[in-house]
Structure 1
Amino acid sequence: MLIRCYDCGETQDDRAYSCMCGGLLEVVQDFKGLDAEELKMRFRHRLSERMSPYASGVWRYKELIHPELPDGEIVTKREGNTGLYAPEVVRRSLGIRKVWLKAQSENPSGSFKDNGMTVAVSHGRYRGYRRFTCTSTGNTSSSLAMYAAWAECESVVLVPNERVSINKVLQTLAYGAKVVGFDGTYDEGIRFYERYGSELGLYICNSINPFRIEGQKSIVYEIAQSLDWELPDWIVIPGGALSNVTALGKGLEDLFQLGLIERMPRVALIQAEGASPFHRMMSLGEQQLTAFESPSTIASAMNIGNPPSWKKARDFLTRHGGVTCSVTDEEIMAAKTLIDRSGIGCEPASAATVAGLRKLLADKTIDREETAACILTGNLLKDTEALKHTYRSELSEWDRGGLAMPMKLTPERVLGRLGSADAFNPIS
């Protein structure tokens, strides 16, 4: 395993984040000597683990993620192992032959960030760090704070003062992180740490950290193993910083290179319309990204105007016939309601995948006879402001009945909320 600059190819120390040329770094794995069938057997055997690090849905695939890390250095909360669901109500609504939802919201801190964070914090602690940091619109900060606390280390996070869910900030504080609010965007926080992180003695755990990407690859490994190593025609991924499409793309190439899968699925990358510089670049056929100076979307986890991993995402999608799409906040919230009502639930950024799939089916980019897996990145309760807005009339009914104007509880009142007495069928 070595660390190499994505832009110029120079090798770097495994504590670095970027090259002198300004390019991001990547981990280059050595898969020589690994046999696909032997790996499948090993990964299947580890499904029975309960207490060892291999009980993790990330570290189950240790040979493909960080083979050199001693087992005793692994910081894990048994992350991964998230559900892969195929709700019929979503399939019918979209009109597609088969759709799966990968609920990364079931991770310990409630988001997909745990898959990468377990590897970043484990590696950082192994290399002697005891203070960890990130800049975040929410999910990264709460994941980092959780793992740092679990490792008995310190964490400090930079959080923009606007367009961030208070739920995520509260979760971060609860885990003991020091939160530094600032006037500016996620992108400005990244630039600050690229300049001052080392000087402050902090180990940066944003997606510029190449070990974050290695951990996130496990999401697609899990999907492949759950489906007996035969992936859907499409993997649909939401895009903010673009670390997910970079990581899952790298994971897909790993699986194909090793012979664990026989064909590469295509990838659809979905952005929120108000924060879609990457989609704009790809749709115009441009090779350079023009940042959005003031990104704006209800999907706070995607509210990023200058995604750091855009070059890797561009190259992967170009190599493998991937597509991009942008969706409005209204389309996102409609998809979120569908996912919530299916019994799974998600935060707005997650719902962008289903909204994007609907749009790509409508314009015939994706055929209705094909199959797809949508990545749901965050928990339903990560952003309750969006829920309050959606269910304001229902909340108003509860408020009148329970607080402002007390009302007697009667069977008639309950049936009135159901809308029809036909639903009342007592067991005889």
Structure 2
Amino acid sequence: MKLVCIDCGQEIPSNNFKYHCTCGGLLDIIQDFKTYDTELLKQLFKERLSERMTPYASGVWRYKELIFPELPVNDIVTKYEGNTGLYFPELVKKYTGLKRVSLKAQSENPSGSFKDNGMTVAVSHGKFLGYEKFTCTSTGNTSSSLAMYASMANADSYIFVPDKDISINKVLQTVAYGSHVFSVSGTYDDGIQFLENYSDDLELYVCNSINPFRIEGQKSIIYEIAQYLNWNLPDWIVVPGGALSNATALGKGLHDLFTLGFINKMPRVAIVQAEGASPFHKMIAQEENEIIPERNPYTKASALNIGNPPSWKKAKDILDRTNGITTSVTDDEILDAKAIIDRTGIGCEPASAATVAGLRNLVSQQVIDKDESALCILTGNILKDTDALNDYHFGESINANFKNPLQPTSLTYDSIQRYILNLQR
């Protein structure tokens, strides 16, 4: 395993862990897979599907050889994350206009989001290095995931959240796990800058996406999808784009699988951002090579409310490797897509629904052919943002096409029968 700067290519000794190169670039982990036998690994990963109550029962650590082979098993901090559902709902197929579409429900993770796949590796690495204090800045899902894993590791966590435009549900979850939570004026991006400046002095191990071990853990999402589908992936992988760590990780996982021969074709990656927080999409659409940060981003999909995504260079590289694309969607489109996903019985938070909204638009624009196949990543649980649910179904401020309000009625047979009969007409 090597740490390599994505900007200048300098190699950093893994025993001298840092988040940035001396040139300021982010670091990437380069694994040495030369000695691996793909067929033997496939058999090993299959056998581990029957594991119970060991680290290999995790949908992340099942693939330890591809993620962090050097880590002692005793340092693994796990809650058996991963192993989330893969679904093929007819309602979503009809809504997107695509015959073959599936949903990977990372919302079924222990803390309710995809962050657990990366956080188990980051916290395990921090524990291995001897850290007792962990930190992140977060719009919600990262904070609740870190708080959970730090508590499991008997460590302290110190978390910085913006004082507006975030989901209180996620903050409450973080507080409940025992984290020290700071509500600060400013944005997610300001919090990242603070941790980059002062985390070393405060002896804090940073668990944001600037940490390459987070990315290694999140790769397991695509490994798990590929294994579930017998190593035959769809034409498109559609992911929401906030900090861009998920797109980076999934793309890196695809590259691993293709390089090792687990898969024989590289799916294309589509990154979907909310219109109100879409600096990466604008950069790609305008064919620019540098991102222009958005100082005051805003979207109702709070997990996407990031104006200066730290992993944009890595995400751009993934688009280049996979012939990928970007798009943006409105909040109304996101919330309508969420209502459709919720009605399938799977459910998700608003940021997750950006994938289905984006896929629908890309199909209608004939960017994605209706005969192609696609998989959408759902990143967070339906209860992560109940304010959005309340506003959509019970409020008046959102143009909701699939509103499902409460039905005031008297509790009599005739009134209930009349309502049911009206539904059947």
Q: Smaller-chain TM-score range?
A: over 0.9
State the match for 1:324 in structure 2.
326
Residue 94 of structure 2 corresponds to 92
Q: In 2, Cα distance between the equivalents of 1:397 and 1:118?
A: 40
- The one-letter amino acid paired with 2:167 is S
Deviations 1:65-108 (A, max 9, x none): 00000111100000000000000111122221200000000000
Q: Give per-residue Cα distances to partners, 1:37-78, cap 9 Å, x unaligned.
A: 111100000000011100000000000000000111100000
1:9 aligns with 2:12: no
2-structure distance, mates of 1:347, 1:408: 33
Q: 1:264 aligns with which of 263, 266, 278?
A: 266
Which residue number corresponds to residue 19 of structure 1? 21
After TM superposition, the score normalised by the length of structure 1 is 0.95
Is the aligned partner of 1:148 residue 2:122? no
Alignment of 1:348-359 (within 5 A): 348-359=350-361
Alpha-carbon shift at residue 13 of structure 1 (Å): 4.3
| 1:396 Cα deviation after fit | 7.2
Q: Which residue identity does 1:319 align to in structure 2? A: R
Q: Aligned equivalents of 2:414 and 2:174: distance in 1?
A: 44
% same residue:
63
Report the AA paired with residue 5 of structure 2.
C
Instruction: Identify the match of residue 204 of structure 1 among 203, 206, 209.
Output: 206
Aligned residue identity for 1:372: A
Deviations 1:113-151 (A, max 9, x none): 000000000000010001100000000000000000111
Contact 1:327 1:355 survives alignment (8 Å): yes
Q: Which amino acid aligns with 2:273?
A: Q
1:303 Cα deviation from its structure 2 partner = 0.2
Shift of the 318–396 alpha-carbon distance from structure 1 to 2, 3 Å rule, reads closer
For residues 312-354 of structure 1, the C-alpha deviation after alignment (integer angstroms, 9 at most, x for no partner) is 1112202321000000000001100110001100000000000
- Counterpart CA distance in 2 for 1:323 and 1:380 is 27
Q: Which residue is 1:404 aligned to?
A: none
> Within 1, Cα distance between the matches of 2:234 and 2:85?
16
Question: What CA distance in whole angstroms lies between the structure 1 residues aligned with 2:294 and 2:131?
Answer: 34
Q: Is the 8 A contact 1:415 1:421 kept in 2?
A: no
CA distance in 1, matches of 2:404, 2:251: 42
1:227/1:395 Cα in 2 relative to 1: closer, same or farther (>3 Å)?
Answer: closer
Answer with 410-419 or 122-131: which moved more: 410-419
Residue-pair matches, total: 416
How much is the aligned-residue C-alpha RMSD, in angstroms? Answer: 1.5
Q: Which amino acid aligns with 1:304?
A: I
Q: Is the 8 A contact 1:111 1:378 kept in 2?
A: yes
- Give 1:11 shift: 2.0
2:59 alignment partner, one of 51, 57, 60: 57
Give the secondary structure class of the aligned counterpart of 1:369. Answer: coil
For 2:345 and 2:321, locate their aligned partners in 1 and report how far apart those are by CA, in whole Å: 36
1:37-56 residue pairs with structure 2 within 5 A? 37-56=39-58
Equivalents in 2 of 1:300, 1:318: separation in Å? Answer: 28
Partner SS, residue 4 of structure 2? strand
Q: Which residue is equivalent to 2:124?
A: 122
Alignment partners' CA distance in 1, 2:123 and 2:34: 27
Between the aligned partners of 2:374 and 2:404, the Cα distance in structure 1 is 35
> What's the CA shift for 1:299?
0.4
Q: Distance in 2 between matches of 1:217 and 1:281?
A: 25
Q: 1:247 aligns with which of 240, 246, 249?
A: 249
**What SS class does the counterpart of residue 50 from structure 2 fall into?**
coil
Question: Where in structure 2 are the equivalents of 1:326-365 lying within 5 Å?
Answer: 326-365=328-367
Offset at residue 419 of structure 1 (A) = 5.4
Runs of at least 5 residues in structure 1 that lack an aligned partner in the other structure: 402-406, 424-428
Q: 1:22 is aligned with what amino acid?
A: G
Deviation, 1:36, is 1.0
SS at match of 1:274: coil
Alpha-carbon distance between aligned partners in 1 of 2:139 and 2:252, rounded to the nearest angstrom: 24
Q: Which runs of 4+ in 1 moved over 4 A?
A: 393-398
